């Protein structure tokens, strides 16, 4: 894969200006390649200029520059380098025409081709972000060379074609010719096309055509959800028009749900593409519907921030993603029935940012340009920092500036840079001008630094008064701290209902994070401790960051922890409960709270929790991290028993039909945690959970997968289920189940499918994920021991051969689940390999480094638990010996008395 450096991009942007692309694609040439003819009109700003165009073709047929055909004697070299050199350009206007055959992708990059096993129909879509446009057309592929795009397509006559603008059939119907309306100036990574026999539902809103599109086999499920999807779309569209002065800048708004999509969605202007799992064919919780709604709101926000105004270089990814993430959650809260979106953000998305920010691979939200030297480095920064941490920083900025000044700055930014490119400095200038605040200093301390601050309270009571000292420290690696504007919640037990908590008061506080005053000049703390004094009794619970307006780990003082152990589910606000659960999660990860104590809290309070996002988030952490990673192996069975008991309580609570989402969340986690196959087999054979729900395809595959792990399913069972559900999701379920079988032959077959280099057909990106996800199971570590040392060289080889998407899949889902020193040593040796042929690709290296650091943390937590167990055993042994000595002494005394 060709990598573009920042220096090359800057040089090219200085030398040329791109005006227009005319692209003609022929999608009727078979299963492997398609025709691509690209005409680019551009200007050279200097005489005798040398530059290049990116192109990754299967075959290169013609290159014509200003009417002069260029020789292609070295076509093979050009194809290998993925660049066409353009040398000695005269100053002024030029036209380049490139004719090539391009490869279809099976990895979700470039032009992805998918054949639906349900009906044999074929679907195509593009994913050009961030540097994969050259797999579709010849391009000056960098974000600050915007141009008008005009696309023409030849497709099978029965197909539908969708693009960034309104697509129209031209010519005779049997010719299959389509023209897509020219776009305003956009970046190459935002060019989008979808083609195939898509099922479409259309409407109109605010004078614009809106459309929803999905493959035909999912048509009934889209039809069932179309009104909900349109309602969310309309509400978000109208809200953005209320707060943004710039109107929606494109001619239509299509949302295509496409198969085997690597991301959640992609903000292509006028044609947003989503993974088609968002068209639900099985039951989902309300939290999952809220997530889908948030993604719709997120991608629509990009139409302004990202598409209308685009970053100049990839160091400013956060300008796109953090803004869209913040606006997505905020807009849902303001305009839809989803009013607790920030609780979901806190318990699910924010942890993504916290975890990423504590690994060696952390980076600033807005890295310095030299920290993103090329597109390979930039690709790695689409992570929890650019999304969740950046959105948290913006939420804190809004808390400091106020929403009015924040939106005024945003609108200034749009007006100044519409259909152009902008940097962090441009963005901050607009906010500073609108607010009159020193936003530049705020940005330096929030956006240019790494790590997570920790806020810890110490409470001292003295008669009728009490004080709270808030200790503020930065990350262990940097020591840097940030200013925080937070709310502190003071909660007491309700006298008539002691398991409930009521808010006594909510106090605002400024933590400067450094000596001196707060950024707006008001007095604050000294950078390490802020002392607050109060009159009256101390509260039962003091909750820092109540409302979750800042990005920091918080701790609870001993008295407050006793309160939440007793009454966490009695906190009246879902966001406050999310803050507490996050605090407990962080304390477990940092070795300050025993994993068993977290499980005990979940056991006590989840059966009474009403927020589904919290239930799902807590159960997921308990199941995948505590049970599988943080507890010593000999305690895993007891942990799974606690989790299944918690799920049973939720099932009993909802057996009257109330809370179907809670019930579904409980069923899913119960299935994944079950250690006995009999009950699951009864559910599968009866096609229902007693008391509901009936088993839909997703639940059937999940149950069969767990039965496979437990050795209670056979290949014939899997084949029978696949005959029942032959969809693409069924194919993935079957692959996952086959890989999960505790059988040596099944493991060899799965391994070969993932990593073999015999030249046979290779798995698609989704089948790689499914197979890898089924392969490693904690119950099967003995069977899998031989594959641990084989994993690292195999992952390096497949990532080099198949590219970033597969690298990410085999590292994310295929990393060994063994928590031991051997796996850690092998992983560290892989990262430090001197031989270039054994070294991981950049995409694989980043994901492996994260996995290895998480493994290192899990080992530390386990070691702490084992040390605590040894201490308790020693104390118990000492107690037992003392008791034996006392008994012996008592017996001797009795003998003497008797004598």
pLDDT in tens, 720-752: 999 999 999 999 999 999 999 999 999 999 999
* Cβ atoms 520, 400 nearer than 8 A: yes
Among 397-406, 553-562, 759-768, where is mean pLDDT lowest? 759-768
* The residue to which tokens 């607009």 are assigned: 430
Inter-helix orientation angle 787-802/804-812, to 10°: 160
Strands 253-258 and 271-275: parallel
CA dihedral (354, 357, 363, 366) in degrees, to 10, reads 20
Query: Could you tell me the strand order of the sheet in which 553-554 lies?
Result: 529-535, 465-473, 454-462, 553-554
Predicted confidence (pLDDT) at residue 515 exceeds the cutoff of 50 = no
* Cβ atoms 1, 803 nearer than 8 A: yes
Give residue 867's pLDDT: 87
Contacts of 408 by beta carbon, 8 Å cutoff, 6+ apart: 434, 435
Give residue 521's pLDDT: 34
Inter-helix orientation angle 660-673/697-709, to 10°: 20
Predicted confidence (pLDDT) at residue 277 exceeds the cutoff of 60 = yes
Predicted confidence (pLDDT) at residue 333 exceeds the cutoff of 50 = yes
**Whole-prediction pTM:** 0.94
pLDDT grade for 876, boundaries at 50, 70 and 90: confident
* The residue to which tokens 């006559």 are assigned: 157
Structure tokens at 626: 């505590």
For residue range 483-514, what is the model confidence (pLDDT) as tens digits? Answer: 999 999 999 999 988 899 999 999 999 998 75
- For the chain, give the percent of residues with pLDDT over 90: 89
Give residue 522's pLDDT: 36
According to DSSP, the residues that pair with 62 across neighbouring strands are 99
For residues 419 and 426, give the distance between their C-alpha atoms in angstroms, rounded to a whole number: 14
Average pLDDT of the segment spanning 21-31: 97
For residues 234 and 581, give the distance between their C-alpha atoms in angstroms, rounded to a whole number: 34
For residues 292 and 115, give the distance between their C-alpha atoms in angstroms, rounded to a whole number: 25
Neighbours of 724 (CB within 10 A): 10
Average pLDDT of the segment spanning 327-353: 95
State whether residue 762 is helix, strand or coil.
Answer: coil
- For the chain, give the percent of residues with pLDDT over 70: 96
For residues 217 and 728, give the distance between their C-alpha atoms in angstroms, rounded to a whole number: 10
For residue range 618-676, what is the model confidence (pLDDT) as tens digits? Answer: 999 999 999 999 999 999 999 999 999 999 999 999 999 888 999 999 999 999 999 99
Give residue 245's pLDDT: 97
* Cβ atoms 306, 320 nearer than 8 A: yes
* The residue to which tokens 């494109």 are assigned: 250
Structure tokens at 304: 């302004």
* Cβ atoms 467, 460 nearer than 8 A: yes
**Which residue stretches of 130-194 are H helix?**
none
Mean per-residue pLDDT over the chain, rounded: 94
* Cβ atoms 94, 44 nearer than 8 A: yes
Strands 148-154 and 92-103: unpaired
pLDDT grade for 523, boundaries at 50, 70 and 90: very low
Which residue in 769, 846, 799 sits closest to 261, CA to CA? 769
**What sign for the dihedral angle of Cα 187, 193, 199, 205?**
positive
For residue range 572-597, what is the model confidence (pLDDT) as tens digits? Answer: 999 999 999 999 999 999 999 999 99
Contacts of 498 by beta carbon, 8 Å cutoff, 6+ apart: 566, 567
Predicted confidence (pLDDT) at residue 899 exceeds the cutoff of 70 = no
Structure tokens at 805: 């998407």
Compute the C-alpha angle 842/846/850, nearest 5°.
Answer: 165
Average pLDDT of the segment spanning 84-97: 97
Give residue 761's pLDDT: 82
For residues 554 and 560, give the distance between their C-alpha atoms in angstroms, rounded to a whole number: 12
Predicted confidence (pLDDT) at residue 519 exceeds the cutoff of 60 = no
Q: Which residues are catalytic?
A: 299
Give residue 75's pLDDT: 82
Structure tokens at 702: 């999940």
Give residue 759's pLDDT: 67
Average pLDDT of the segment spanning 220-234: 98
**What sign for the dihedral angle of Cα 377, 378, 380, 385?**
positive
């Amino acid at each position: 894969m060709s990598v573009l450096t920042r220096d090359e991009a800057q040089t090219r942007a200085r030398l040329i200006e791109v005006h227009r692309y005319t692209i003609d694609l022929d999608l009727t040439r078979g299963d492997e390649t398609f025709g691509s003819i690209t005409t680019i009109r551009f200007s050279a700003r200097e005489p005798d200029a040398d530059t290049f165009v990116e192109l990754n073709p299967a075959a290169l047929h013609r290159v014509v520059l200003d009417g002069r055909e260029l020789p292609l004697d070295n076509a093979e070299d050009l194809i290998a380098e993925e660049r066409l050199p353009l040398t000695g350009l005269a100053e002024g206007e030029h036209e380049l025409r490139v004719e090539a055959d391009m490869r279809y992708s099976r990895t979700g990059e470039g032009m992805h081709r998918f054949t639906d096993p349900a009906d044999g129909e074929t679907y195509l879509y593009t994913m050009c972000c961030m540097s994969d446009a050259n797999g579709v057309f010849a391009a000056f592929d960098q974000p600050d060379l915007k141009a008008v795009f005009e696309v023409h397509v030849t497709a099978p006559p029965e197909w539908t074609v969708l693009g960034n603008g309104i697509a129209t059939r031209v010519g005779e119907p049997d010719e299959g010719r389509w023209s897509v309306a020219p776009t305003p100036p956009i970046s190459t990574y935002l060019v989008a096309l979808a083609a195939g026999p898509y099922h479409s539902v259309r409407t109109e809103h605010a004078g614009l055509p809106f459309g929803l599109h999905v493959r035909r086999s999912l048509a009934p499920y889209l039809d069932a959800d179309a009104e909900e999807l349109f309602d969310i779309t309309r509400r978000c569209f109208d809200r953005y028009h209320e707060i943004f002065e710039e109107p929606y800048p494109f001619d239509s708004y299509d949302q295509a749900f496409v198969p085997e999509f690597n991301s959640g969605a992609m903000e292509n202007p006028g044609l947003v593409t989503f993974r088609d799992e968002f068209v639900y064919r099985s039951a989902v919780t309300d939290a999952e519907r809220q997530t889908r709604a948030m993604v719709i709101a997120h991608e629509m926000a990009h139409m302004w921030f990202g598409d209308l105004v685009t970053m100049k270089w990839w160091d400013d990814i956060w300008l796109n993603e953090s803004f869209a993430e913040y606006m997505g959650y905020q807009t849902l809260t303001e305009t839809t029935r989803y009013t607790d979106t920030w609780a979901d953000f806190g318990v699910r998305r924010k942890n993504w940012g916290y975890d990423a920010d504590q690994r060696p691979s952390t980076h600033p939200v807005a890295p310095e340009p030299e920290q993103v030297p090329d597109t390979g480095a930039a690709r790695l920064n689409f992570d929890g920092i650019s999304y969740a941490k950046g959105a948290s920083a913006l939420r804190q900025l809004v808390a400091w500036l106020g929403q009015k000044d924040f939106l005024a700055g945003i609108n200034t930014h749009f007006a100044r840079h519409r259909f152009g490119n902008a940097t962090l400095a441009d963005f901050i200038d607009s906010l500073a001008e609108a607010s009159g605040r020193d936003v530049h200093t705020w940005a330096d301390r929030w956006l240019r630094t790494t790590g997570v601050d920790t806020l810890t309270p110490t409470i001292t009571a003295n008669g009728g008064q009490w004080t709270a000292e808030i200790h503020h420290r930065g990350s262990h690696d940097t020591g840097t701290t940030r200013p925080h504007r937070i709310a502190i919640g003071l909660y007491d037990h309700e006298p008539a209902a002691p398991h409930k908590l009521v808010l006594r008061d909510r106090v605002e506080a400024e933590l400067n994070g450094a000596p001196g005053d707060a950024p707006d000049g008001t007095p604050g703390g000294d950078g390490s401790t802020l002392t607050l004094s109060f009159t009256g009794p101390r509260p039962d619970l003091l909750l820092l960051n109540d409302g979750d307006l800042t990005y920091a780990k918080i701790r609870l003082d001993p008295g407050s922890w006793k309160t939440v152990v007793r009454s966490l589910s009695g906190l009246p606000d879902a966001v406050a409960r999310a803050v507490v659960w996050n605090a407990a999660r962080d304390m477990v990860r940092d070795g300050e709270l025993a994993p068993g104590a977290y499980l005990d809290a979940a056991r006590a309070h989840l059966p009474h929790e009403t927020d589904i996002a919290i239930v799902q988030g807590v159960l997921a952490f308990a199941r995948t991290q505590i049970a599988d990673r943080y507890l010593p192996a000999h305690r895993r069975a007891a942990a799974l028993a606690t989790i299944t008991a918690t799920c049973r309580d939720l099932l009993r609570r909802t057996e009257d039909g109330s809370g179907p989402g809670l019930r579904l969340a409980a069923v899913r986690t119960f299935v994944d945690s079950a250690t006995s196959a009999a009950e699951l087999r009864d559910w599968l054979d009866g096609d229902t959970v007693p008391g509901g729900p009936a088993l839909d395809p997703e639940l059937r595959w999940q149950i069969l997968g767990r039965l496979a792990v437990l050795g209670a399913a056979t290949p014939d069972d899997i084949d029978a289920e696949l005959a029942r559900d032959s969809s693409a999701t069924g194919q993935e379920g079957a692959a996952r189940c086959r890989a999960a079988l505790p059988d040596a032959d099944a493991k060899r077959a799965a391994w070969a499918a993932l990593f073999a280099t015999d030249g046979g057909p290779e798995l698609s990106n989704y089948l790689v994920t499914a197979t890898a996800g089924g392969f490693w199971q904690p119950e099967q570590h003995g069977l899998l021991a031989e594959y641990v040392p084989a994993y690292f060289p195999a992952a390096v080889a497949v990532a080099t051969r198949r590219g970033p998407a597969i690298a990410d899949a085999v590292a994310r889902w295929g990393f060994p689940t063994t928590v031991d020193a051997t796996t850690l040593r092998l992983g560290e040796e892989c990262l430090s390999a001197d031989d270039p042929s054994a070294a991981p690709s950049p995409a694989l290296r980043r994901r492996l480094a994260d996995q290895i650091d998480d493994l290192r943390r899990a080992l530390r937590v386990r070691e702490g638990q084992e040390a605590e167990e040894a201490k308790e055993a020693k104390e118990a042994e000492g107690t037992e010996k003392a008791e034996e000595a006392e008994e012996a002494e008592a017996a001797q005394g009795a003998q003497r008395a008797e004598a």
